[in-house]
Structure 1
Amino acid sequence: MTEGAGEQTLPRDTDAVREALVAWYEDDHRDFPWRETDDPYEILVSEVMSQQTQLSRVEDAFHEFLDRWPTTAALAAADRADVVGFWSANSLGYNNRATYLHEAAQQVESDYGGEFPEGPGELSELMGVGPYTANAVASFAFNNGDAVVDTNVKRVLYRAFDVPDDDAAFESAANELMPDGESRVWNNAIMELGGVACQKTPSCDETGCPWREWCHAYQTGDFTAPDVPTQPDFEGSRRQKRGRVVAALSEHDELTLDELGPRVRVDYVPDGEAGRDWLRELVDDLAADGLVDVVERESETVARLRE
């Protein structure tokens, strides 16, 4: 492990961590229209709409808004009351966001000759554009941003790499992990990870989370996080059993299935429902994730932690 921000540790092989996440994202991810464009105006509209609004509702409104006001020039020339009326009719949150978006379009036209600034600092000068939104536009439109750190990203970093619940630590770790010059794909990928695989109730195996090999929460079974103060449905879960396997093998060089079984669940019976077949499936999953080696020896199956 290599020291990162604050007291957390990041994996030594950060290149492998980066490659795994980007490959996972590029292989399959949710399709949103704002991920199919690098137009800063369209991305700004999506970011402002997405503030505390369900993405399913945002998607329909996004298309309708851009059909009506397709450019900053069109929005800047619009009647503000019409823009606010659209916002309210589509339940997009506080109406002042519509007002700020309208004023930001006027700034782009009057102060920047219709061309968006490309860096987070200058983008923050636009009305209603805070540091997070400025960085998102810089990242997704110009590939020129820092690492995005939202609630989902904090949850991922806290669970995966035991990053302390501290804003400065999260920001430092996120920027250390992000590949240079790749803010567009990286920020999309890590937010997808938090939104799909590492939600408040995680779905690590179901979504094929690419960080299971390194993830502290996955190995220990503790999926608490800053926004998840208690472990959801952990007692008796498969995650709990996986954690017990890892803990037991950490104490012993290796264990046969029948030696390991009672350490994982008290109702282990070799030939029963909670027996060798069930346990073999569990350790095979851990082997597929690169955590455990499973070998056959003298008619017995032996498990040990992978070095």
Structure 2
Amino acid sequence: MTSSGNGSTPASGSDVTTTGSAEDGGPEPTDDGELIPEDATEIREGLIEWYREDHREFPWRETDDAYEILVSEVMSQQTQLDRVVPAWEDFLETWPTVEDLSKADQSDVVAFWSDHSLGYNNRAKYLSEAARQVVSEYDGEFPEEPAELQELMGVGPYTANAVASFAFNAGDAVVDTNVKRVLHRAFGVRDDEDAFETAARTLMPEGESRVWNNAIMELGAVACGTTPRCEEAGCPWRGRCRAYETGDFTAPDVPTQPSFEGSRRQFRGRIVRTLGEYDALAFDDLGHRIRVDYSPEGEHGREWLRGLLEDLAADGLVRMDESRDPPVARLRE
């Protein structure tokens, strides 16, 4: 498997297209992956062999520790994986076990999250609270089933299933953006959540959620991205792929990540980092520290800052005291 290349060569020899549809002559997607054969043994074995021969190396793929995997899953939400690796390693060096994290000051965890630009800081808060749940409600041992993992704070169906799969080999088929793209292109699965879930369950070999989910997500990320790289990545499904055969590489729309620079997320992070350095700050003092063009009565002034603080307060990260003159803000303990 290679990590470079600009496209793929369809079996038909035609140019790769990524904009076709049934309306303009492309093949109609099927309901739930009717192109998946009843005996999918060859398909399954081909993908698993492809993955085992060569795949991207990430440290969380070398562990079955549920705590370490949960941290990686939460960090990976809308964050590029090359940025996650050093953050994940630093996090585990700071809080090596779920017991260590459960004892940590939540403001320290939030500050770490912000310092490493890991996205919404409420994820750090939820991760901290989930650790306390594991220790207090499960005697420090993570539950193994997806349904029970969802009882942990901030753990939704996807994350619960990923932890169950990669830590305990006890998950269901994972369906993320990469998997949807693969299923739609290879087997004509229509762009519908239930259809994707059905097709993914049909394909996954029983009792092999750990290797299977890693493998099919890797296929979507490395070989079947927005620009497909069928030949360069040695896609094991080329001989059966609907898109490869027809040259129609249409895929479900993928939402674009809004720019971080100048975003509310960026300034929320700056607020958390700044308040981490002070016991409390008056609104205007805080505003001038997070934005050079802060002007109390201007577009980026007190009302703009108040909106950010209210968001953070709703997430349980910041406390505002408006009974004081001037009003002040501080991190919530």
User: TM-score over 0.5 for the alignment?
Assistant: yes
% same residue: 71
Match of 1:155 in 2: 181
Q: 2-side partners of 1:95 and 1:162: how far apart? A: 38
- 1:81 maps to 2:114: no
- 1:201 maps to 2:230: no
1:21-70: CA deviation from partner (whole Å, max 9, x where unpaired): 00000000000000000000000000000000000000000000000000
Within 5 Å, give how 1:110-189 maps onto structure 2: 110-189=136-215
Match of 1:56 in 2: 82
Is the 1:161–1:216 Cα contact (8 Å) retained in structure 2? Answer: yes
Is the 1:152–1:191 Cα contact (8 Å) retained in structure 2? Answer: yes
Cα RMSD, aligned residues only: 1.3
Match of 2:46 in 1: 20
Partner of 1:190, secondary structure, is: helix
Q: 1-side partners of 2:221 and 2:62: how far apart? A: 18
Q: 2-side partners of 1:16 and 1:7: how far apart? A: 16
Match of 1:245 in 2: none
1:47/1:19 Cα in 2 relative to 1: closer, same or farther (>3 Å)?
same
Is the 1:124–1:131 Cα contact (8 Å) retained in structure 2? Answer: yes
1:206-248: CA deviation from partner (whole Å, max 9, x where unpaired): 010000010000000000100269xxxxxxxxxxxxxxxxxxx
Within 5 Å, give how 1:243-262 maps onto structure 2: none
Q: 2-side partners of 1:214 and 1:99: how far apart? A: 45
Within 5 Å, give how 1:23-34 maps onto structure 2: 23-34=49-60
Match of 1:39 in 2: 65
How far residue 8 of structure 1 moved from its aligned partner, in angstroms, is 3.3
Q: 2-side partners of 1:5 and 1:38: how far apart? A: 35
1:177-200: CA deviation from partner (whole Å, max 9, x where unpaired): 000000000000000000000000
Q: Which of 1 and 2 has higher RCO (CA within 8 Å, sep 6+)?
A: 2
Partner of 2:239, secondary structure, is: coil
Q: 2-side partners of 1:228 and 1:140: how far apart? A: 25
Match of 1:91 in 2: 117
In structure 2, give the amino acid aligned to 1:173: A
Is the 2:44–2:204 Cα contact (8 Å) retained in structure 1? Answer: yes
Q: 1-side partners of 2:192 and 2:94: how far apart? A: 42
In structure 2, give the amino acid aligned to 1:212: R
Match of 1:101 in 2: 127
Within 5 Å, give how 1:196-235 maps onto structure 2: 196-227=222-253
Is the 2:33–2:199 Cα contact (8 Å) retained in structure 1? Answer: no
How far residue 13 of structure 1 moved from its aligned partner, in angstroms, is 3.6
1:87/1:174 Cα in 2 relative to 1: closer, same or farther (>3 Å)?
same
Partner of 1:118, secondary structure, is: coil
Q: TM (normalized to structure 1)?
A: 0.72
1:145-185: CA deviation from partner (whole Å, max 9, x where unpaired): 00000011000000000011110010000011000000000
Q: 2-side partners of 1:157 and 1:66: how far apart? A: 35
Is the 1:120–1:135 Cα contact (8 Å) retained in structure 2? Answer: yes
Q: 2-side partners of 1:154 and 1:183: how far apart? A: 17
1:87/1:7 Cα in 2 relative to 1: closer, same or farther (>3 Å)?
closer
How far residue 5 of structure 1 moved from its aligned partner, in angstroms, is 6.0
| Structure 1: gaps of 5 or more residues | 230-307
- Please say which of residues 9-18 and 51-60 is displaced more in the overlay: 9-18
| Structure 2: gaps of 5 or more residues | 1-29, 256-333
Is the 1:147–1:187 Cα contact (8 Å) retained in structure 2? Answer: yes
In structure 2, give the amino acid aligned to 1:9: L
Q: 1-side partners of 2:155 and 2:254: how far apart? A: 28
Is the 1:200–1:227 Cα contact (8 Å) retained in structure 2? Answer: no
Is the 1:5–1:170 Cα contact (8 Å) retained in structure 2? Answer: no
In structure 1, give the amino acid aligned to 2:136: S
How far residue 113 of structure 1 moved from its aligned partner, in angstroms, is 0.2
